Structure 1
């Protein structure tokens, strides 16, 4: 009975030591790979690892990872695969003495670090053979909904677009700007927007702008956008300085405002709401033509005297677009 208990204790200790050893090997190998600044690419291989259909492939595809050892003084009993530090247990095929394969159905991880090891007779630990970083993703969608504007006094043409669904792999976006007057073309690397200095646009006022998206799985171009630099200027937001209501039979409100647009006639639009309300109202304006004046007469259909006001402007001369709505101004009328 005593000998049986001793044997049980021996097997238990040996089994726990074996588990601890395996865990130690996995952690040590994974840490070794991750410590390298370049990742898996820094491994000095004693053999080869390759991926079919390739190291970058479309997400959801079936993938085979092969390992071929070229170790000295080793006829490996087994070849093992690890993904992100964890040993693979299934879908492994030993092709011949030196080569094995692990197969994945519908691979859906954006990135994974793969490596393989060998069990060499007489060696206490598994021996590293080789490793690869693999990636899965999608080809880019054609960039869409492209717009280009020049915010007044910014000195830049800002272009934005919709990149479409995530690609999960490195995707480069290049903005092409072609002068319609000189045929000169410039390119700018971007992500989902770009700021282009207007000083660099020396080819006149008319341009074609488009975006090209490229990654390892494909290439797409957006539709071309034709722009005139004078037509895409967004005026600076205007500031309401004061508001007053006349005591006539039909009360009128006069809004006084300031703008960085110092000269030229401007169109104005205004909206208002009570501070307790969520809905904006558009007043009936008593002037709907461009004016040099910096005041606006209107009738506010509002019973509350505590209101929020906003105003937007555009010019006839160089700002064909409306300014953005500025911060609210609160007034007691």
Structure 2
């Protein structure tokens, strides 16, 4: 069996190669063959950790566990300690967090314990001599869970010039060091990304790679630690499906011939967007009126309420029938007052100021 260094060196070497786009006929691999090779190394690494026992050698002796350094929560492990250096005292004990688990007169000791704590567990072996304790050796064990299958894998790119960002749910907290890697393929080339920002609930990766609009991509997330491996369901997409445009800009509202009820709303968008949608409402209302499937950057509205504050919102997307809509752009304005119609009920009152001047006050009903 290979040493830990051997497995890790080969694993890192493969991961490094997979962080480069494979170009040219000489380095061409079919996606499924390359995918199998990549996941095979992850499984090999996890299996190696599972079968290796932990042994620490110290100056006065050594301490070991019959398990790997990462163990499943609730499992039973056997701890052993051996004093190899001659000492005046011959009583040794195994401790966990300062508490004596087992002690014995002699130079060797072994005990079985159930792992009922998550995280890093520190075990020490000490020589008990009169009223003093001398450290012989110690080991660290990590207790946790194998990774759950990554779920809800999704990717998004903000703007035509952005980079894709992918996210997924990790499932239950593993409590131990767990590696998450996203593998992206366009059917011939493969690119792999290691998660950098570790979060207990979800994974997040900035791919820092430009994708093209012609290819179909498949993304798979692999999770691995010393207790096992898990893989997400593949996510298949084209770039047009995940690109979110920037919001339209410079919304203006022009009222037709000073009309209080009819207007034209216009907006600007410098992207290659092909579809727009519009919604509007009086500020005092919670109900939106929606206008979908617009292909131009203007639209005429009718039958608005006079002298009313309105909110107008516009969003866009690149493809007529697929892809992500942009966030809404917002504009608010008040419609003009309506021109009076029909006969007015009008009267006036005249008052003399002096012999040559009068005041006239005009009244009317609304």
TM over 0.5: yes
CA contact (8 A) 2:80 2:109 kept: yes
Q: Is 2:305 the partner of 1:291?
A: no
Q: Is 2:80 the partner of 1:66?
A: yes
Q: Is 2:122 the partner of 1:125?
A: no
Matches within 5 A, 1:86-105: 87-89=98-100, 91-92=101-102, 94=104, 97-101=106-110, 103-105=112-114
Specify the SS of the correspondent of 1:230.
helix
Work out the number of aligned pairs and report it.
275
State the alpha-carbon separation in 1 of the partners of residues 168 and 102 from structure 2: 45
Task: Evaluate the alpha carbon distance shift between residue 113 and residue 78 of structure 1 in structure 2; reply closer, same or farther with a 3 A threshold.
Answer: closer
Instruction: Provide structure 1 residue ranges, at least 5 long, that are not aligned to the other structure.
Output: 1-40
Q: Match of 2:222?
A: 212
Q: Is 2:195 the partner of 1:184?
A: no
Task: Evaluate the alpha carbon distance shift between residue 69 and residue 320 of structure 1 in structure 2; reply closer, same or farther with a 3 A threshold.
Answer: same
Task: Evaluate the alpha carbon distance shift between residue 205 and residue 70 of structure 1 in structure 2; reply closer, same or farther with a 3 A threshold.
Answer: same
CA-atom RMSD in angstroms: 3.5
Rg larger in structure = 2
State the alpha-carbon separation in 1 of the partners of residues 172 and 302 from structure 2: 47
State the alpha-carbon separation in 2 of the partners of residues 140 and 314 from structure 1: 37
Please give the TM-score of this superposition, normalised by the length of structure 1: 0.69
Q: Is 2:269 the partner of 1:259?
A: yes
What is the aligned counterpart of 1:172 among 155, 179, 195?
179
Matches within 5 A, 1:192-203: 192-199=203-210, 201=211
Q: Match of 2:46?
A: none
Shift of 1:229: 2.1
Instruction: Provide structure 2 residue ranges, at least 5 long, that are not aligned to the other structure.
Output: 1-54, 336-366
Task: Evaluate the alpha carbon distance shift between residue 284 and residue 298 of structure 1 in structure 2; reply closer, same or farther with a 3 A threshold.
Answer: farther
Task: Evaluate the alpha carbon distance shift between residue 51 and residue 245 of structure 1 in structure 2; reply closer, same or farther with a 3 A threshold.
Answer: farther
Of stretches 188-197 and 205-214 in structure 1, the one that deviates more from structure 2 is 188-197
Shift of 1:146: 1.1
CA contact (8 A) 1:71 1:129 kept: no
State the alpha-carbon separation in 1 of the partners of residues 307 and 259 from structure 2: 18
CA contact (8 A) 1:59 1:110 kept: no
Q: Is 2:120 the partner of 1:116?
A: no
State the alpha-carbon separation in 2 of the partners of residues 315 and 213 from structure 1: 34
Shift of 1:248: 9.0
CA contact (8 A) 1:272 1:310 kept: no
CA contact (8 A) 2:61 2:137 kept: yes
State the alpha-carbon separation in 1 of the partners of residues 63 and 326 from structure 2: 56
State the alpha-carbon separation in 2 of the partners of residues 185 and 130 from structure 1: 46
Please give the TM-score of this superposition, normalised by the length of structure 2: 0.63
User: C-alpha deviations, 1:228-269, integer Å up to 9, x for none?
Assistant: 2233321112235333556899934543323232x5642324
Q: Match of 2:165?
A: 158
Task: Evaluate the alpha carbon distance shift between residue 284 and residue 226 of structure 1 in structure 2; reply closer, same or farther with a 3 A threshold.
Answer: closer
Q: Match of 1:31?
A: none
